[in-house]
Chains A and B, each alone.
Chain A
């Protein structure tokens, strides 16, 4: 017997999923609003708010994508929709996004820290002032190197820590809202001006190649798009939704929708709230001094004693450094993951994945990523605005490509989806996805406007993307022949064992044994996963590999003999199904020479309560059940009580009970039993008699009659009874 196990995912609640995404997305609140204001002036909070609303629409695109691909990162979805060339372009843009996430987060953390230190030095009347950008860049490099070393060692903080950071951040946000609200109630609420052509004030570096044209000043749409283009950082991190989807508990899609809403509400309050409060509370005359650490500046202009404000600012710095440093690590981990994935696909040489001699990690990829991040920090010289400008390139193009891919898939794979981006018009057989089209159009429009307004982003982003794209293309050609068909499949770890037991598979007695044979006929597994409550029952998916007569003579089969490409494909599909339903399954493959003996022995050993399989293509369902019954009789004692369920692809379900079991009585039979009981209970009163006593007595009598000379009479009556039932079942013509 051979046991194959892989990631037995234990699924997370939508709250936890939201927390994981917000850990990435929330970090942008520390800099996004201020960067936007630096470029487009006091109307920036409205643009940030609009981006948060857009992020809600982008959330829908991600949910639709996840409903089609459980493991639907940008690369996978774009490849499926538009081919590998555009997929490689998307990955290159995503890599640019990841490479920039580290430096922008590290530098932002450094800016918060140095802002506080300089403030403290000022209150201490010290003549020393730390150079802001230089210190921030040095801090960012230190943080990056620290996380590089942690990643090289393969040490990762628990996910619990990320959750704790979210708790602390929530405390900070609540204090900020209450204190900020109180401040505004005293000083009066003055909302920023609504964005119009006359109110948007572009900075000297806000328009890029449009600087010498009148378009942003005369066409409102262009002005709005420029403003939005400078605010898109507010929704960076949303792509993490696709990463956590795989691990969200059942009902998966509904929980993803809930998580998406929590993410939207939280980031709306935090990111847009910070942007509005910063403009409303920090005086115009000094606000540009706090563009590099807006929340720190906000703390200093709240009402209350200086000491309290300084304490709150220190708290903000601690939270900011924790969250932003976490984002540095996430960027390294994410880049490592993406490059490992493309290397497995053969579009990056295997050389990159050679494990570190001492720690076993993919150190070459980590060195490449961290090297690029440090170069980026040095080139930016700690200037958050340059970094922000460049960062927007990667963020926007990966979103736009995803939107475009989901839109193309509406036509390429027009089948049913569990979720569709709303607002779809049906004209005959043609569907016009108005909602999805508008979201994609907005994202592409923002990408295009950014190409013109963000010179640094366009030049650096294009250069980076072209280099990565070229490397991917050349390498793919070289390694094409070496890439195996297995790359798309999950890797399973094989554990050879003598027998299947609940202990070896880690399942509880009473589990449900689902027989899986062909990856195209997993409807029985699907039906079980739909109804099973994982808190009560474990699900085991067992595949039997039938041995030929000569093969069965072999004493031991090597794992490779039992676990071929076919089993790998089957288990990959089975796992995909389980992940889609958000429920855990346990996988096993066993050698067998006779189907029912093997199935029932496995069920007996695993102490299963039910065996579920699909119909045989050659044997009728009733015949299958009869053969199963005979095999059950051959089992060693103690024989288990089992239910046998045969599910057809059309959704029909046939249930049979193997071994002694309580019969399912029809209402007519129950009525008969009750009538007999009523009569007998009157006769034997005051003696107490129950329904089960009646059955017990009747069966004993029947057994006696079968044993004596009346047997023939009884048998003939039974045949007559069965014939009467059969006649009643014949449909009327």
Chain B
């Protein structure tokens, strides 16, 4: 009787750790390479070299081997991808944090206070989710200009809704627990109850949600870059690399292939890690 149950329990567990391990490895390798790229022995990401245009992957060059080939201006694709990954990840992580901060603040307050504040927040969430993200972002970029700060702020300010929804739902649960009633009876101030007694309990679901939302932002940022409306060349991002490479696709498919592969690997890594966290922490996100 004991054996089959033990087997049942062990198998999914091992799978969770395996997924988490693969996901973490993917992310660590890519992020480490992107962060360390300025010190790696690679040709410069922004220097043109018109004698080495469209070299296929693995070709030797004046500044060193072009492991992933070169683009239409003879720039090294690998170092451009790494620089682009660094910038894209910075945009994504900062905007995810902005979205999480706004959403958590709104969701916690609305869930705790209830009443019309809560009703208002729910309608705001509906409004936010009714507009396709990419259309909204492109509209605001067209209005405000495509600077790095603008893109981060815009992506952050349009990503708060799901965090607000989860934070609100969890706060509604926690609010009814006895220890919250106890601290309320002791007359603690509203900020103190929210920050010291409710917020710490939201940490796990919000981290899981963050991990699962980052892939969406990675693809969103890349789509904006691909459409040529994001950060402008020659500064590389994962999206605008593909957008630029698209024109030379027939001649040198590596320009489109490898940046996309990095995006896919980042998304897979985050999804594996997020799913594993979700199951391991037994978090419900509705």
A, B: real partners: no
Which residues of chain A have a CB within 8 Å of any CB of chain B?
Answer: none
